[in-house]
Chain A
Amino acid sequence: MTTNTRGSIGWALLLVGRLALAGIFLFAAYAKLKPQASMGWSMASAKTSLSMFAMQVDSYQLLPPQLVSPMAHFLPLFELFLGLWLLSGILFRYSALMTTLLLGAFFAMMVRTYRMGLEINCGCFGPGERLGVGTLLRDGSLLALAIAITVGAFAISRRKRAQVDAQVSSSTVSAPQHAE
């Protein structure tokens, strides 16, 4: 397998991983913001959905009550932003790194809660999903994917920079010869 072929496969895997994570984050944000019961989309319905999400954040018993609501309002919007950022591909290695950090924080929080024996809803994709081995495996897999694409993104970036440096140095070496 040539270096070029390997590079293309690596790039394609990164693309798939990036789009998958983007889709997952966009869906997670949608699930938290979508109207509950049979309400239509409105500011009031979003407020109710976020208040409902706040109850899930609160049940993790990690934050003081005064921080629960700001966090519950921030997280879905940040997930929306991260999903769009991943989708755009802009500054990919940084969006991948941010995704890894966020998923790492989620995973650590879930493991802590599971070890404490709290039987609560996960809150990962909206209400109604219990935190358990299944959700831990799923989020652990997502974290592994995020770590893989972050490492890949930095590796490709470094390789590209090395190629550019090599081109620049070869052109500066050859330039005086042309001048002669």
Chain B
Amino acid sequence: MNSLTLSGSRCVGRLSMPLLAFILGAAVLFVPAVRAQGTEAAAPTAKPKTATKPRAAAPDAAASATPVKTFGNKNAPITMEVFSDYQCPSCRTFFEQTLRPLLGPSPDGYVADGKVYLVHRDFPLPMHPYSFQAARWANAAAKIGRFQDVDAALFDNQGSWGADGNIEKFVAAALSPADFKRVQKLMTGCEGATSTAGVKPASLNSGSGAQAASGCALDAYISSDQELGKSVPVQATPTFVIFYKGQKYPASSGFVTYPILKQFFDSLLSQ
């Protein structure tokens, strides 16, 4: 009974057990973490086997069968799948402040270092009227191996095309005239439901049904990404899932700064 009552100073001795556990726990876990932070730059993990340029896979002469929306070496120890919406402001911030350094040059650019394989997944949300159409443009560019340019152009100019739906202008500016023509050709049948009313997200239908309903061959790729997202499950964008040595880690949502994401990568690579 006494041990449960509200006792005063005579219980101070009993305080030592949880306190000791806390101090020991803090010493064991907190100190190495702080030390690891201090030597972050000087603590390279496993040396990358191959260093690849952080570009989407090499462009084919003709359009590839499926759009290539990946960056880096497929055999990298870490795979990061990002479910994103081109018209979502958090996705833009995540791209500009986190994915750009990740895709940038060494030593911070873990994609270029062959440590991370980055996979873009489309997850346009119904609340954004032009995001589905933007995803179509990105997929068309991905089919000719120019995903990275269009991906960056879409995020960089989100505020502009997000206001009037004129996505084509920015895609044209990001590509050479020849490439833009190829992309335009792939977009045949996809122009219909763009601008004002927005595009009904085929997403929420099944993949093949969506394509049949819209007449746009690219919709199947977007729907396929969305189906994958639903299995995660993606509830908001951006959401990313990280795999390390075949192990899937729980999905994270929202904007995360690059130093913190890099710290997580480092903890995985140091295992």
Chain A residues near B (Cβ < 8 Å): 15, 36-39, 43-48, 50-52, 54-56, 58-59, 61, 65, 68-70, 73-74, 77-78, 80-81, 84-85, 87-93, 118-121, 126-128, 130, 153, 156-157, 160
Contacts and interface: CB of A to CB of B under 8 A. Distances in A.
Contacts of A39: 247, 271
Contact of B90 (A15, A38, A51, A119): A119
B80 to A, nearest CB: 12
A90 B2 CA distance: 10
B256 interface: yes
B93 to A, nearest CB: 9
B254 A120 contact: yes
A84 B168 CA distance: 60
Interface stretch (B19-27, B63-71, B152-160, B198-206): B19-27
Nearest to A46: B29
Contacts of B33: 47, 50, 69-70, 73
A36 B251 CA distance: 11
B50 interface: no
B192 to A, nearest CB: 30
B261 A55 contact: yes
Interface in B1-41: 3-8, 11-12, 14-15, 17-19, 21-22, 25-26, 28-30, 32-34, 36-37
Contact of A37 (B7, B19, B249): B249
A156 B6 contact: yes
Interface string B237-271: 10000001001111111111101110110111011
A81 B203 CA distance: 46
B86 to A, nearest CB: 16
A44 B29 CA distance: 10
Contacts of B250: 36, 52, 126-128
Interface of B: 3-8, 11-12, 14-15, 17-19, 21-22, 25-26, 28-30, 32-34, 36-37, 90, 235-237, 244, 247-257, 259-261, 263-264, 266-268, 270-271
Nearest to A11: B5
Contacts of B256: 55, 58-59
Contact of A84 (B3, B17, B90): B17
Given A54-B263, A68-B260, A69-B263, A89 B254 contact: no
A122 to B, nearest CB: 10
Given A48-B267, A92-B6, A81 B257 contact: no
A127 to B, nearest CB: 4
B6 A59 contact: no
> Interface on chain A toward B: helix, strand, loop, or mixed SS?
helix
B50 to A, nearest CB: 25
Contacts of A74: 26, 30
B21 A91 contact: no
A69 B249 contact: no
B254 A119 contact: yes
A153 B29 contact: no
B6 A81 contact: no
Nearest to A87: B18
Nearest to A92: B6
Contacts of A126: 250
A43 to B, nearest CB: 7
17 contacts: A36-B249, A36-B250, A37-B249, A39-B271, A47-B33, A51-B263, A58-B260, A61-B255, A87-B18, A90-B11, A91-B7, A119-B90, A120-B236, A120-B254, A121-B253, A127-B251, A130-B236
Given A48-B271, A77-B26, A80-B25, 17 more contacts: A37-B249, A43-B32, A44-B271, A47-B33, A47-B36, A50-B33, A55-B264, A65-B259, A69-B260, A74-B30, A77-B29, A80-B22, A84-B17, A91-B11, A118-B254, A119-B236, A127-B252
Contacts of B29: 43, 46-47, 50, 73, 77
